[in-house]
Chain A
Amino acid sequence: MKTSQKKPEKLIDEKDIRYDGRKLNEMRPVKIEVGVLANADGSAYIEQGKNRILAAVYGPREIHPKHQALPDRAALRCRYHMAPFSVQERKSPAPSRREHELSKVIREALEPSIFTEYYPRTAIDLFIEVLQADGGTRCAGITVASLALADAGIPMRDLVCACAAGKVEDRLILDLDDLEDKSEGADVPIAYMPNMDVVTLLQMDGMLTNEEFEQVLNMGIEGCRQISQLQRDALKAKYTAAKEAEAEKEDEAEEAKK
């Protein structure tokens, strides 16, 4: 899908329209599906712009190796991994430094949302597989991972949603893609639990003034709220779809009777 991208001269034009046609505070189109894998206890899939990410959850289950067990709560083990074909230049499938760090960061962003203390000495395994990457994968990764956890039936305080905001060409924008991310400016990924009003992940690279930072943060949280709504819809859709299929079946049966 990704052909050799030429860098446009300007990422944002005079009318505040970004190079891909979005407004400054507009997110990329998002599509979410829950329960896509039959063999995982819980799973979810997201498309956010050109990002395509799959998440799978197993557990709570027996922990191996045993020494990793925590006496007072479940251990959340998270693997963020990018497929070799997910980026322009083939990525080595071995976990890189960056993936190790993101795994840790994502784990810590999700852990506060889970009632890990209900299941001591067990493991909850979470796998995030990036099939196609286009900037902001950690945020999209957190969003799907949270849904996969909910799909697995693991008790949670809230769904965690995540979104980035930042600065490009001296303007503040929401949901940066790869090109915007790589340009000069700043990038602030935020993970957020909307019901509890708690931020569980806040990172920044680049430079922002205090005022700019505040604006970016609020913008990011606003983005998270939008994502959160989509999350909830996706979760409901899984069951309403099942119900509709049943209703259809019943209708057919009734027609057959006639």
Chain B
Amino acid sequence: MAEDEYISGENTYKENEKIFATRVGLFDHDQKRVYVVALKSFYVPMVGDTVIGKVLEVTFGGWLVDIRAPYPAMLRASDALERPVRPQRDDLPSLFDVGDMMIAKIVACDRTRDPLLTVLERGLGKVTRGQTIEITPTKIPRVIGKKGSMVSMIKNETGCQITIGQNGRIVVIGKTPDDERSAIMAIRMIEREAHTSGLTDRVTEMLRKEKGEKSTKEVVENVPKET
């Protein structure tokens, strides 16, 4: 891919002064660092990531959570309760039951240990409404956009509340199912066309059109009733 003086960045490695890509993706460089933006990958947990997980199992002192990583994540009861746990009294399934979705943060994770989660921060906790969708984790930065431009645009256009997990799960909570649907359509569009430019504008256009169509449809539907 490149030789000599460059520093090997994301998704690349260096051998004998030559840099090779380790994944299929788009090549890019800034000054001396070359890197590849992968087109497809899977989620690898990192400390500090906000993730959206699904409860797999309620165990004695906590929950086992699926965060779409190769490792099962653990949420201990003490990281969800904010006080010492009394195993006899506390009813863990009433907090999170099997199948519940949660927004959580990874507090510990390394090569030898499975990730540990917490929900004791602002914005974290159980997901009680809305819909979750899954996309490839590499496309998450694209959904967020430069300084959050993409999400805030979708939020404004659809009036939905959107939470993005670094593990490629996104929770969309809207006032009506239609709002949620158009937000999801926008996200799917971003996923499909992530490697093209000028995307924010096109997504805006798509959403506006969607809205326009809906309002005209409503008018048409209303007309026969009156007559």
- A residues sitting closer than 8 Å to B (CB atoms) are 41-42, 59-62, 71, 74, 115, 118-122, 150-158, 195-196, 235, 239, 243, 246
Complex A-B: 9 CB contacts under 8 Å: A62-B70, A62-B72, A122-B70, A150-B23, A151-B24, A154-B23, A155-B23, A158-B20, A239-B195
Q: Are A153 and B71 in contact (CB under 8 A)?
A: no
Extra contacts besides A115-B13, A121-B71, A155-B23 (16): CB < 8 Å: A41-B42, A42-B40, A60-B42, A61-B70, A62-B70, A71-B112, A151-B24, A151-B40, A153-B42, A154-B23, A155-B11, A157-B13, A157-B22, A195-B18, A195-B20, A239-B39
Shortest distance in angstroms between B193's beta carbon and chain A's nearest beta carbon? 6
Shortest distance in angstroms between A236's beta carbon and chain B's nearest beta carbon? 8
Number of B interface residues in the complex (CB < 8 A): 25
- B residues sitting closer than 8 Å to A (CB atoms) are 11, 13, 15, 18, 20, 22-24, 38-42, 44, 70-72, 111-112, 136, 138, 192-193, 195-196
Shortest distance in angstroms between A252's beta carbon and chain B's nearest beta carbon? 14
Task: Please pick, from A60, A153, A195, A196, the residue contacting B70 in the complex, using a CB distance under 8 A.
Answer: A60
Complex interface: chain B residues within 8 A of A153 (CB)? 23-24, 38-42, 136, 138
Complex interface: chain A residues within 8 A of B39 (CB)? 153, 239
Residue of A nearest to B40 (CB): A153
Complex interface: chain B residues within 8 A of A196 (CB)? 15
Complex interface: chain A residues within 8 A of B15 (CB)? 157, 196
Residue of B nearest to A124 (CB): B70
Shortest distance in angstroms between B203's beta carbon and chain A's nearest beta carbon? 14
Bound Cα distance from A60 to B42, whole angstroms: 8
Known: A196-B15, A243-B195. A119 touches B70 (CB 8 A): yes
How many residue pairs between the two chains, A and B, have CB atoms under 8 Å in the bound complex? 60
Q: Are B20 and A152 in contact (CB under 8 A)?
A: no
Shortest distance in angstroms between B200's beta carbon and chain A's nearest beta carbon? 16
Complex interface: chain B residues within 8 A of A59 (CB)? 70
Bound Cα distance from A179 to B41, whole angstroms: 41
Complex interface: chain B residues within 8 A of A235 (CB)? 24
Q: Are B44 and A119 in contact (CB under 8 A)?
A: yes
Known: A60-B42, A153-B38, A246-B193. A122 touches B24 (CB 8 A): no
Bound Cα distance from A151 to B39, whole angstroms: 9
Complex interface: chain A residues within 8 A of B41 (CB)? 153
Residue of A nearest to B13 (CB): A157
Closest 5 CB pairs of A and B: A155-B22, A153-B41, A122-B70, A153-B40, A60-B70
Residue of A nearest to B36 (CB): A155
Q: Are A156 and B71 in contact (CB under 8 A)?
A: no
Known: A62-B72, A115-B22. A152 touches B40 (CB 8 A): yes
Shortest distance in angstroms between A77's beta carbon and chain B's nearest beta carbon? 14
Complex interface: chain B residues within 8 A of A61 (CB)? 70
Residue of A nearest to B22 (CB): A155
Residue of A nearest to B42 (CB): A153
Q: Are A156 and B22 in contact (CB under 8 A)?
A: yes
